[in-house]
Amino acid sequence: MVDVIVGAQGGDEGKGKISAYLSLNDNYDYCVKVGGPNAGHTVFFNGKIFPLKSIPAGFVNPKTKLVLTAGSYIITEWFLKEVKETDTEDRIIIDPNCVVITQEQINEERNNTHLMANIGSVGTGLGIAIRDRIERKKIKFAKDVPELRKFVKPVYEILHSAIVKGKKVLIEGTQGFKLSLLHGEYPYVTSRDTTASTFLAETGLGPKYVSDVYSVLKPYVSRVGPGPLEKEITDPKELEKYHTQGREIGSVSKRLRRIGEFEFENVRKAIIINSATKIAITHFDIICTQKFKNIKEIKEKKAKDFIKIISKLSKTYPYPKLALISVGPDTKDIIDLR
């Protein structure tokens, strides 16, 4: 069985947090990270903060094996540092075709003024590495790097035989729907598609195995770089709450994220294209100060109104159900409605 986590907005919806919670609570045997090191996530666990760019957030469950795919891109030095910090050396599996981004590719991206200034690229070399792969240039794969060789294993065989035995796989998608190269707000997008089908293809799994697609969203939208935000919030006083309590600072880029009001149509489109079956709300504490166990107990107007918006979204086939609400930064700060 395979579940997939996707971002329904402009990235940084808190997919890492949802992945960490699900790995712990639902005991996935494998947690998969696709995409590149431009997608960072911060995991708050056991009183520690882990800023990750290479390792899936599911590392918090010591029984979960951690997988990087043929559609994953890593920077060797960053990856090895995170392996050490998370003490996960014996649980990592890397596909031989996982791409290792070179210093030349990083330099080229950082010197590309179009990407850096106009698109707002994070500067991790991901876009250049993907371009080089498409041009069929000589690139570096995980299997070519001596320090990585011990992690390199046939991911498709391992996951396939695990699925046959009834084991559980969680795919942690990267970025958000607005940043999809195919369906997002071109040209203000990343260098890959960011929807569930692509995450499966990158992992090497077909669509038949999927049970649930978790669409992760916030009660507002953030964007690290330039590009559309329907109703951008520009009042510095109002923005401060998002940048402090909401921690809306780029985890890789360190830029203050731009903030906009919730975009209904964009999320509806994301639900359709991802075939989302479950909705996970994060950063709910930004609009709700009261404690609650059930959504019926919610009294605060902003929070109540937002839950109504979500019920409207749930009327879109395949009728995603509100499943999880994140009410604080720690991995365990979750109201589980499943």
Residues of this chain that interact with ligand IMP (CB under 6 A) are 11-12, 38-39, 115, 119-122, 126-127, 175, 179, 188, 190-191, 224-225
Instruction: Output 1 or 233, the one with its CB closest to ligand IMP.
Output: 233
Select the residue whose beta carbon is closest to Mg ion and give its number: 12
- Taking the C-alpha atoms of residue 185 and residue 172, their distance in angstroms, rounded to an integer, is 22
- Secondary structure element (H or E) that encloses residue 16, with its range: helix 15-26
Please name the amino acid found at residue 335: I
Which is catalytic among the residues 3, 12, 193, 285? Answer: 12
Instruction: Output 190 or 251, the one with its CB closest to Mg ion.
Output: 251
Interface region with Mg ion, contact rule CB under 5 A, candidates 40-48, 77-85, 296-304, 314-322: 40-48
- Number of C-alpha atoms within 13 angstroms, CB side, residue 92? 25
Name the one residue in this structure whose structure tokens are 């391992």: 158
Contact of residue 329 among ligand IMP, Mg ion, none (CB under 5-8 Å per partner type): none
- Taking the C-alpha atoms of residue 94 and residue 251, their distance in angstroms, rounded to an integer, is 24
Closest distance to ligand IMP from the beta carbon of 6 (Å)? 13
Instruction: Name beta bridge partners: 48.
Output: 45
Coil, strand or helix: which one is 326?
strand
Which is catalytic among the residues 3, 29, 41, 285? Answer: 41
Instruction: Output 58 or 127, the one with its CB closest to ligand IMP.
Output: 127
- Taking the C-alpha atoms of residue 288 and residue 169, their distance in angstroms, rounded to an integer, is 33
Active site residue 285: no
Near Mg ion by CB under 5 A: residue from 10, 14, 35, 40 = 40
Closest distance to Mg ion from the beta carbon of 182 (Å)? 20
Closest distance to Mg ion from the beta carbon of 24 (Å)? 20
Residue among 271, 28, 281 nearest 172 (CA): 28
Contact of residue 119 among Mg ion, ligand IMP, none (CB under 5-8 Å per partner type): ligand IMP
Active site residue 330: no
How many residues line the site for Mg ion (CB under 5 A)? 3
Select the residue whose beta carbon is closest to ligand IMP and give its number: 225
What lies within 8 Å, CB to CB, of 34 at 6+ separation is 69, 71, 72, 171, 172, 173, 174, 198, 199, 202, 203
Coil, strand or helix: which one is 23?
helix
Looking at the annotation, which residues are catalytic? 12, 41
